[in-house]
Structure 1
Amino acid sequence: MAAPMHRCWTRLRSLTLAWPAAGYHARPRVWGVGGVYKPDPNDPKTKEWQKGPAYEAKLYGRHGAASGVNPAQLWPSPERLQQLEAEEKEWYPSLQEMLDRVEAKERELQKAKEEKERIVAANLAKMPQMVADWRREKRELRMKQREEKERRERLLAQAREKFGLHVDYRSPKFQEMVKELEKQEKKRKKLLKRQMREEAAAGVSAAASGPATEGAS
């Protein structure tokens, strides 16, 4: 009975395994005091995450004094403690700080809203004047266009009287005549403005001398 079972087991093992047994032998763990596994930091085969104070803190948190770790070494230095406090203050603000930030943001949004409403109200208040200015500019533009049209027609009529019916407005003679008439028109307007200023000044001086004469009488 035992022989057939042995032959069956041998045949089954030869079918499932290409060789009789594995050649791997795991390195035995180094157990410290109290049965706690503590890797040797000087061993080059020790992983990096199993070195340093972070892993020692993990061992002490799991096994306590049985880990053989001195808890005084786990406390951060003053410089590291200040750094941790700064990081905590930056990334984990207090409730009051978060409320202050929310209130400041709400005040900023409210201020921006009030400023926008003020600008809209000011623009609405200016709207009638803006419409009136636009209409006035349109009237002035139409007036200028009409005056320019009348001026061209007048110049063309004068050119026809001088050069005949068939006048080319692009001819040098026509251009020279236009320049001469424009000079005369500028002189006439300048003289008219001077006369108006002189008449206004004479009226002011007459009005000023009138009360003085009455007072003297």
Structure 2
Amino acid sequence: MALPMQRCWSRLRAVTLPWPAAGYHAKPLNLNLSGVYIPDPEDPKTKEWHKGPAYEAKLYGKYGSISGVKPEQLWPSPEQLQALEDEEKEWYPSLREMQAKVEAEEKALRMKEQERERLIAANMKKMPKMVEEWRRAKREARQKAREENAKKQHLLALAREKFGVSIDSRSARFQEMVKEMEKEEKRKLKAVKRIQREEEKAAIAKALNVASAAKPPTAPDSGSPE
């Protein structure tokens, strides 16, 4: 029995380092044998989410009075209660309020649909008239385009007669000739209107002369009887 023990000790001495190991003294662990971890809010190493009323409420809810948290300090203030009530009214309305809101939305949707149907019906009644007006506008536009084209061809023919060669309708000479012809047309129109006015005046004067000549003479007054 002694021989195996000696061999074991000799082998242990053989693997032992010739120099001593560095001294290391670990800090004692701050173990909470009660199983409740209560962080120190004054400790800079304490996490931010381990501070504040929310975490204290969590500790009290988990460990109760062992956590050392006073339950009365967890009760919200009047301002906080009012904020909670407002939030609940906004985000968690009652069943009656939700039903009223749904009914109002459905009513607004029905009214909008009815208004849309009335508008469609009114437009359908106007459709024949609108189609006829559209067709008339198209006819007038085509007629105007034909008249402008005929006028342009007439002006080009006059330009060929005046200048002896074909001329571009976009040239300055053609535009100048068009302006001169328009001025001449206006002068002719004014002369025609003036002649018409003179003829109307002459006809009125002639009618007045005929009417005065056809009127019987008035008998002279013979005076009162004796």
**TM bucket normalised to smaller:** 0.5 to 0.7
Residue of structure 1 in register with 2:208 after alignment: none
Task: Report the equivalent of 2:108.
Answer: 108
CA distance in structure 2 between the partners assigned to 1:167 and 1:123 by the alignment:
56
Q: Conserved in 2, the CA contact under 8 Å of 1:155 and 1:178?
A: no
The offset of 1:43, in angstroms, is 2.9
Q: TM-score, normalised by structure 2?
A: 0.57
| 1:114-193 correspondence to structure 2 within 5 Å | 114-148=114-148, 166=164, 170=174, 175-185=179-189, 188=192
**Counterpart mapping for 1:23-62 below 5 A:** 24-25=26-27, 27-30=29-32, 36-62=36-62
Shift of 1:130: 0.9
- C-alpha displacement at 1:61, in angstroms? 1.4
Residues in 2 aligned to 1:76 and 1:187: alpha-carbon distance in whole angstroms: 99
Instruction: Look up the SS of the partner of 2:122 in the other structure.
Output: helix
Shift of 1:132: 0.8
Q: Aligned residue for 2:209?
A: none
Whole-angstrom distance in 1 between the partners of 2:43 and 2:70: 21
SS in 2 for 1:62: helix
Deviation of the 1:89 alpha carbon: 2.0
Quote how far apart the aligned CAs of 1:131 are.
Answer: 1.0
Aligned partners of 2:30, 2:137: CA distance in 1, in Å?
99
Could you tell me how far apart the structure 2 residues matched to 1:171 and 1:35 are? Answer: 105
Deviation track 1:44-68 (CA, whole Å, cap 9, x = no partner) reads 3333322222222222212223333
Which structure carries more helix by proportion?
A: 1
Task: Return the offset for 1:153.
Answer: 6.9
Letter in 2 for 1:127: M
TM-score by length of 1: 0.59
Q: Which has the higher contact order (CA 8 A, sep 6+)?
A: 1
Contact preservation (8 Å) 1:49, 1:55: yes
Distance 1:39 1:152 in 2: 99
Residue 178 of structure 1 and its aligned partner are, at CA, apart by: 4.1
Task: Give 1 or 2 for the bigger CA radius of gyration.
Answer: 2
The alignment covers a number of residue pairs equal to: 181
Cα RMSD of the aligned pairs, angstroms, is: 4.3
CA–CA separation in structure 1 for the residues paired with 2:11 and 2:83: 70
The answer to whether the 8 A contact 1:168-1:174 is kept is no
Determine the C-alpha separation between the residues in 2 that align with 1:26 and 1:126: 95
**Structure 1 SS opposite 2:40:** coil
Q: Which moved more, 1:122-131 or 1:88-97?
A: 88-97
The answer (yes or no) to whether the contact 1:30–1:39 under 8 Å persists in 2 is no
Equivalent position of 1:208 in the other structure: none
CA shift, 1:26, in A, is 5.7
Percent sequence identity is 49
